Every structure is written in C-alpha cells, then in structure tokens.
Amino acid sequence: MPPLRPLAVCAAAAAAWFFCAPAAPAQEAPPPAAPRQPPPAPPPIRTLDEALELVAWDPARRGSALLALDPAGTHPYQPPFRPGEPYVPPAPLPPPPRSGGYLLRTIAGHFGRKVFPLGTLTVLAPAQMTVLNADPGEADPLAGLRSDEKLRFLQASLDQAQWARLGSAQGLGLGDLSAGEQRALFLSILPDPFRVQKVTFIKGGYNSSGGTDTTVTLSQAQRAAVRLRLRRALHWNYESASSPNSFYSFGTNASGPEGQEGYVLQNMGGYHGGREAYGVALGVEAPNRLKRGQLDFEAAALGAPVPLEGAATVGELVKRVSQATRVELHADARVGRLPVWTRGQSARAGDVLKALCLAVTGTFRRVGSGGAAAFVLTDDVAGIGARRARLAEWAERAEARKREIEIKLRERILAQRPAQHIGFDGADPLAPGEGLRKKLDEHLAGRSGYGGLPTAVGDLPEGVRAQVLERAATFGNSTQENGQPVQLRTDRVHVQVQLRLSLLVPGAGEIEDAGGGMGGGDMNIASLLPPPTGAPPPPPPGAPRPPESPVALPEAVAARGA
C-alpha cells in the first residue's frame, strides 16, 4: 500500500493543474427560439362525406349502424333565395372538438339533414321534403303575372290621353291614372325594392363606377314618383354575305355616351321562381317523414339482418334486403343509382327499408297481386308520371284561358290606336330622318309579318350607320360559321321599328328597360298596329268555330270596352 500523501500536497497539486490546464473554449449563446406559430387551420369541410369521417359514432357501443345518402354530393344547406336580397353563402362548419369528433346532430343541421333513429339503424336524411300537389283545384290564369304581362293589362286600360302621356317625353305617372286598379297595376309593374346603380358608360355597355357601393334604393315615395315612357327605336338585321337566307339581329345601343356617368336598374323585372303556377302551390315543403306506403316494415319477414358493409348504391341495398328476406323488392332507377354511405356491419331489414324511404323521401309501392306481388321504392304510391300528366293537363287548360284573355287585351289596346302616340325621340341622334320614317311607315302599313325594310346603309342616320359598320366588323371577327369567320353584308340591312320602354327615375334621369324585364326589350311596333293588309281571310260562312266562353277582365280594363 503506497504511503499516504499529506492533504496539503494534494490540494496544491490540484490547484496547479487547474491553473495550468488549457482554457475550455467559450460556449456560444443559443439562438433565440423562433416564435411559436399557430397550427395551420384545417381545410374547410365542403361536403357531408368529409364531415362524416370526423363523426364520433361507434355502432357497437350505440347498438345502431349509420346510413347517409349521397354524402359526397351533399353541400351545406342554403336557404331559399328571396327576391331583392343579396346572396349570403352558408357559414363554414366549425372545427370538430379535439377529442371525440363531431356529434351527428351538429353536422346534420349544417347540411340540411335530420337524424332519424330507427332501432338497429340511424339515418341522416333530408330535414324537409317536397310534396307534389296532385289535386291543385281551380287555376287563376291571372295569378303571378310577370311585369311585362302586367304592362299589357295597364296598356289595355289606357285611354287616348293616357297613351299620349306614355309616348311623351314627360312619360306616364301615377297621377295620370285613375285611383284603384290602374294605379295598383302601375305600381305592381315597378321593381320592389327599386334599386339603381351608378355606372360609367363605355362602348357597347357600362362599367360600375369605382369600387365603392354605388347602389341606391329608392324610398316608397320616390318609387311612386317614377314615370314610364314608351318610344320607338331602330332595329336591324344583317344578311350573311355567304348564306343569303341567314340573318343576324341587332338594335341601337341603349347605353349613354361613352365616358358619361349614369344609372342602370339593378333588379329589373320580378322574381318568377318558386313552385307556384296560376296561384296554386304545386310543390309544398314539409318536414320529412315516412310517407304512406304499401309495405309493412314491421312484418316478421323483414326481421332478418342485412349486411351493410360495401354497399355502394340504394339499389344494391334494396337487393340485399330482398335476398335476405325472400321478398321481391326493387328500386326505381331514378333512386336506385344514388350512392349510399354506411358505418356498421348490419341492420334489421325493415329498418334498412325505412331508412331508404326517409333518405330518398319516397315509399314502397306494391305492383302485381297475390303471390306475384312485388314492391318498388319510388316517389309515392301514385305514379309520378300519372300525377305529372294530370298537372300538365291542368296547366294547359289554364294557359288556354290566359291566351283568351291576352287576345281580349290586344283588342282593347288596338281599339285606342296607340301607335299614333308612340314616336321616335326628337332629341335622339339615332332616330331616322323624315324620309326613312315615311318608308318605314309605308312598310309597316303593308307588312306581311315582321320582316324588316331593306335599306341601304348610306340612308341610315350617321350614328346608326356607324353602329352598323362597327358591329358587323366586331361580330364577324368573333363569330364563325362552318369554321370560317362570318361575313355580314354592310351595304344594306333590314330595318325594323322596335318599342323601347324607359323609366324616368327621380334623381337618376331616364333609365331604359334594356333587359326587357318590364316588356320594353325590343318589342316590335307591330304589336300596337292593326292587322296588316294581306292578312289571312276570315273563315268562309258556315265554317265551324270553336265554342267561346266569356272572358273576365279586370274592372279597369273592361271599362274601356264601353
């Protein structure tokens, strides 16, 4: 054992090593930690199938499988469009909870669906269904008229003085009409809400002015102060240079001078959507439920289990139920091809069939009788073809009645000889000169249809001539016929006289019904003229005539026939 060294000697040696040892390299300070970034937002859920993948649904724990119809084609619920309101996209589905996933009822409402528990199977089916009205009752041919149709009623109620007002530069206003039905008709023609948008006119159209909100909504008092004006305008048809029997139609540009600011109507005409016709609702929205059917879902034969995994379509599921129960079942081709989504191994046959009925808002109809009977999954117990045929006959009768009324209206209008009050605007640089007007009047008096007057382009007003040449060049460069640019004749055109309806709007000036939503879009002047010379002769004496039924006209219209 080596001798022990004194403690002081050991301490001195240690101190000498410490001071004589090479210095350790200096350590660099660690770089500052990068700021923590929030986790990226999950992509938005666009369809029901994407949401279903995040649903907390355990069939074994719940004792119920899950079924949905066409989830890849099911998008977030969008409320029905309401006229006059801007489009508002549906709000995005919030992210699922960090643990557990979505609850089924959370995604159901977002996609317009409802959860229907059916025992061994739960179905995510539409919350609403459309019920077809197979017995619509009496039709009202005057219900739901468009603005242009209402204009015909108003015109049929006008007297000579009112027609003169309509054709004047001052136009026809509410104060020029009799109280009651005339004024009600006038107001019903105007858009409500009445919106105008400030624009800058360019060649052939207009641009919105700037990026700010340039839309103005008229108050009800301003709307009641709007006046209607009807005037003549030129319209022409080009001949194809290569195809003599081909014509292309254009009219004088309705926009203002290039670079000038003005207004256009933002919501001309009315909204004519929905499921109504002739005052009757043909399709009614109702809460989804099992429709009356001809198959007993609680029958003992439908107690067999049916495998769900791997089923791709409604038709395939119906076939599996048929094989498991030995009941002859089929799916109408219109619903049989629809895709299905399932989670879970199996479900009771009757529950599967109920789920499919709710999913397609249909039912099972019995076909055949006795032992040869079969059941078909379809829209309703009554065949949809037969129901649609009855509705078509109902609509045809209402339309025939409406045509009778329109004939009476035209007779009332022509009795006032209105064309004499509707002329060209004297301040319009595109209006024809006296010589061309005379030729057009002669052509209209002896017309045999709606063909235009062949006119040399050189005889047209300067502004019209410029538009004719410019549009021919633009159209020919952008349009092809049989793979070749269309060549239009520019030495002559076929000129017609059209009617232009405009609105004199307080604070906005004169605005044309360029889209024709109120009946003034390129309406031919011939509609205000008596039948042309050379019209077909009346039927010979003794020829049978269809029976006529009396046609009831509104009071303001009928009063003009006295």
What's the Cα-to-Cα distance from 286 to each of 126, 289, 541, rounded to whole Å? 11, 9, 57
Q: CA–CA separation, 307 vs 70, rounded Å?
A: 19
Q: CB of 518 within 8 A of CB of 243?
A: no
Q: What is the pLDDT of residue 560?
A: 45
Domains and CATH numbers, the chain: 147-275+392-532 (no CATH), 305-384 (3.55.50)
| Widest pairwise Cα distance in the chain | 157
Residues 1-48 have pLDDT tens digits of 444 444 344 444 444 433 344 445 555 666 676 677 766 766 789 999
Q: What is the pLDDT of residue 255?
A: 59
Q: What is the pLDDT of residue 352?
A: 98
Return the structure tokens found at 374: 């079969």
Q: What is the pLDDT of residue 179?
A: 87
Q: What is the pLDDT of residue 186?
A: 93
Q: What are phi and psi of 214, to 5 degrees?
A: -115, 20
Element housing 469 (H / E): helix 462-478
Q: Parallel, antiparallel, or unpaired for β 374-378 and 329-331? A: parallel
Listed residue (136, 143, 130, 131) closest to 393, CA to CA = 136
Q: CB of 314 within 8 A of CB of 340?
A: yes
Q: What are phi and psi of 345, to 5 degrees?
A: -85, -45
Q: CA–CA separation, 186 vs 182, rounded Å?
A: 6
Residues of the chain falling short of pLDDT 50: 1-23, 210-212, 269-272, 448-449, 521-522, 535-537, 539-553, 556-562
Q: CB of 455 within 8 A of CB of 539?
A: no
Question: What residue has token string 């064309």?
Answer: 419
Q: CB of 367 within 8 A of CB of 298?
A: no
Q: What is the pLDDT of residue 516?
A: 57
Between 384-415 and 147-157, two packed helices, what is the crossing angle to 10 degrees? 30
For the beta carbon of residue 404, count every other beta carbon within 10 angstroms. Answer: 15
Element housing 437 (H / E): helix 434-445
